[in-house]
Amino acid sequence: MPTLTHALALCIVNRFLRPFIDRPDAKFLAAIVVRIEGMADAIEVACDVVLNGRAKAGSFPGGRNAVIEQITDSKKQRGLLARVQEPNALVLIFQNTKLVPDQIRDFADVYHVIEEIDPRLMKAAIYQTFATEVSMSDAQFIAKQPLDDWLVAFRSGRPVQRSLRLLRGMDEPRQAAAGRTKSIRLEELHGYGEAKQWGLELALDLTRYRRGEIAWTDVEPGLLLSGPSGVGKTRFAEALATTCGVPLIHGSYARWQSAGHQGEMLAAMRDAFEMAKAAAPAILLIDELDSFESRAIEGSHSRTYTRQVVNGFLECLDGAAQRSGVIVIGTTNYPEMIDPAVLRPGRFDRHIAIALPDATARLAILRQYLPTSIPSSQETRLTDETKGMSGAELKQLARESRRRARGLNRSVLADDVLACLPETHVVPADRLAILSIHEVGHAIVALAFGRTIESIRIADRYRVDVGQGFDLGTVRLGNEGLRRTARTYQRDICVALAGVAAEIELVGEHGDGASGHPDADINKATYLATLVEGVLGFGETLVVEHSPYDYNELSRMRLRSPHLWARVDRLLASRMQETRRIIAENRLAIQALAAELTTRKTMTGTEVSEFLKSVGHVVVAATEFAEEKRDDTSARQPRLERVN
């Protein structure tokens, strides 16, 4: 009888090697990263059993003499590239993604990262090992426990229920310690503004619901939280669950997708919602909601997949809405990417954007993590030096400050915090003026095309560890809706190029910060132009490539096709000419707004409109593009809503 660990490894391997198991002649390359401590050896044995049929029990095709090797030494990386010529099937097992060469990760027939155990696989493994069924909630609990605990608790001849009781007994001290060190209530959070108020009101409504004073229909069942990385969206949900006294169940597109093919992904998604219903009242947290993209993806091989996944998600949301006691909270960095149907009333009724903490909140967060008082004489310097830092970065700063004080064998002082702050430099005045012109260029061209400005921001300091060209300025645009045409894409190319165009027209030349990484302006414009000319049928030809919306894949397309490269180049040149014309027509408005932004540093869309009106400037609208022959084809919304 196999151990639980080996039965689980067999289930995992059967899943990700399923396309090749019944094809003994298949010569494939698989790269498997096992991030679960102690599991790599079991996965190696399972691969040998499944592919080569070396099993003491069970029926496996085997017989292919596949080469299976566990890579633990970074010195072997270069040699791995030569191994891909292996005439037999080759399975390489790693314990760290950093050991996987880029070429193997990109071109392997199977690349799979095992970071957590799927409860359904755990349930199946327990049945195979002990011929005993366990509930999905029990399987989920077992899957979260350390592998060493399984080895002690689940032994041959011991009843599964007794093993489960032993495992829970081993887990209770850990949970108690975690509760003492990590549990935090919503009332203790700082910098969450409207979201915190919403959560406190929800806690009161849940109390009233439990008492029977209100019906579930009076409780707001859904919330979308958006904001940049590190602002604490997940932390908010954890604190909310603590305050409400309800369990928190985690889910995400990536976690569900790791279950396997589409059918298994949808099943994992439904299981998460069922667990929330069974534990009601409960909070179901769904991270990275922007992964559920718009279903309007014409001409893409992923359109059917996306549509079915989003449709399945909508069914789960509607099912949760019909069951009392389930609060669904979605988090995202990019709300404009989410399929509009996901956000309709009855699913996510409220959308709250969490901003980076202000000066008051930053001091409160530091005080929360530091066992010392911050003198009032140093408050101003601390707030200035921590400007732009997220809650997660402030927590890390406090941790480093405590470590520094321990090294000096004394209590933490405010001086420790100042010593641990990332080194920052002031942006020179002339550079700041150009930065304002660049960001205002984006904003004015967007307004000229009828877009809505949500905010525009520049920073007058930059962290040395990040670099002076990264995220010094941002313009956020409002969501423009579902349907996108050729003119939509050409307009978006103009908006992406507008910062460079503004620098050329008003300064005489542009700097080097507008290219060099996928989120840079010229890179974005090139990405969009490649979609137009090579994927969507919006360009000079209707011939399109069967290609995903992947930045690297589109780059390879251009390299493989000189004709495509030339068409993209012509499109970018024509859009730059149009953009420079718009900039020139609005030169005075750009100069006035850039001077104001240099002083204010941050302006909302309303403030931008009010300022332009107060100084008598009206943005000259862009000339409409010529009607495209194929302007009725929709496509997915690329992430252009955040321009740098």
Nearest to 257 by CA among 287, 282, 230, 284: 287
What is the token pair recorded at 18?
């399923």
Q: Are 365 and 394 in contact (CB under 8 A)?
A: yes
Residue 353, H or E segment: strand 350-353
SS3 assignment, position 108: coil
What are the helix (H) ranges across 586-614? 587-600, 605-614
Q: How far is CA 20 from the centre of its chain?
A: 31
DSSP-derived pairing of the beta strands 642-643 and 424-426:
unpaired
Collect contacts of 128-135 with beta carbons under 8 A, ≥24 apart.
128/2, 128/7, 128/10, 128/11, 129/1, 129/2, 129/3, 129/4, 129/7, 129/154, 130/4, 130/154, 130/160, 132/159, 132/160, 134/160, 134/164
What are the angstrom distances between the C-alpha of 251 and each of 63, 125, 567, 612? 39, 22, 42, 45
- Residue 512 has a pLDDT of 80
Check if the beta carbon of residue 410 is closer than 8 Å to that of residue 404: no
Average pLDDT over residues 193-202: 91
* Average pLDDT score, the chain: 81
What is the bridge-based pairing of β-strands 453-458 and 602-604? antiparallel
The pLDDT value recorded for residue 155 is 82
Residue 450 has pLDDT above 70, yes or no: yes
Closest CA to 382 of 413, 354, 349: 413
How far is residue 551's CA from residue 527's CA, in Å, rounded to a whole number? 7
CB 473 within 8 A of CB 458: yes
Residue whose token pair is 């489960």: 164
Comparison of pLDDT for 173 and 13, the residue scoring more: 13
Q: Is 33 helix (H, G, I), strand (E, B) or coil?
A: strand
- C-alpha–C-alpha distance, residues 308 and 310, integer Å: 6
Stated pTM of the model: 0.51
Which residues make Cβ contacts (< 8 Å) with residue 439, sequence separation at least 6?
456, 457, 458, 473, 474, 475, 499, 594, 597
Exposed/middle/buried for 372, CB within 10 Å: 0-12, 13-18, 19+?
A: middle
Q: How confident is the model at residue 577 (pLDDT cuts 50, 70, 90)?
A: very high
E strands in 397-554: 424-426, 453-458, 461-463, 473-477
Note the pLDDT of residue 636.
34
Extents of the domains making up the chain: 4-115, 121-182, 186-353, 359-421, 429-643
Residue that is written with structure tokens 């702050």 in the block: 421
Between CA 374 and CA 146 the distance in angstroms is: 40
SS3 of residue 188 by DSSP: helix
Task: Give me the phi and psi of 239, to 5 degrees please.
Answer: -65, -35
Report DSSP state, residue 338. B
pLDDT at 144 over 60: yes
* Residue 461: predicted pLDDT: 74
pLDDT digits (tens, 9 = 90+) for 17-50: 888 877 777 888 888 999 888 888 999 999 888 8
Name the CATH topology of 186-353: Rossmann fold (3.40.50)
User: Residue 340: is the preceding peptide bond cis (ω within 30°)?
Assistant: no
The answer, yes or no, to whether residue 448 has pLDDT greater than 50, is yes
CATH 3.90.1260.10 fits 429-643, yes or no: no
Percent of all residues in the chain with a pLDDT value above 70, rounded to a whole number: 85
Q: How many CB atoms lie within 10 A of CB 522?
A: 17
Q: Which of 374, 350, 351 is nearest to 362 (CA)?
A: 374
Q: What is the DSSP letter of 216?
A: G
pLDDT in tens, 318-342: 876 566 788 899 998 877 777 777 8
Closest C-alpha among 16, 100, 94, 9 to residue 58: 9
The pLDDT value recorded for residue 581 is 94
For 523-562, the pLDDT digits (tens) are 999 999 988 888 888 888 787 766 556 667 788 788 888 8
Concatenate the DSSP letters of all residues of 407-432 into one string: HTTS---HHHHHHHSPPEEEPPHHHH
Identify any residues that bridge with 330 across adjacent strands, giving them in sequence order: 224, 286
Structure tokens at 75: 């010195």
Winning range, highest mean pLDDT, from 65-69, 168-172, 433-437, 471-475:
433-437
* Cα distances (Å, whole numbers) of residue 434 to 308, 316, 458, 495, 587: 46, 49, 11, 17, 14
Q: Which of 77-91, 238-252, 264-278, 308-322 has the highest mean pLDDT?
A: 238-252
Dihedrals phi, psi of 642, to nearest 5 degrees:
-120, 105
Q: Which amino acid is at 454?
A: E
Which of 148-157, 185-194, 428-437 tops mean pLDDT? 428-437
Spatial distance between the Cα atoms of 122 and 145, rounded to a whole number of angstroms:
11
For 434-450, b where at least 16 C-beta lie within 10 A, e where not — what string? bbbbbbbbbbbbbbbbe
Handedness of CA 269, 273, 279, 284 (dihedral sign): positive
Q: According to the model, what pLDDT value does residue 174 have?
A: 63
CATH number of this structure's domain 359-421: 1.10.8.60
**8 A C-beta contact, residue 5 and residue 147:** yes
Task: Check for a shared fold between 186-353 and 429-643.
Answer: no
Q: Give the total residue count for the chain.
A: 644
Longest Cα–Cα distance of the chain, Å, equals 85
Q: Say how far apart CA 514 and CA 496 lie, in whole Å.
A: 10
Q: Which residues pair with 352 in a beta bridge?
A: 225
Q: What is the pLDDT of residue 618?
A: 86
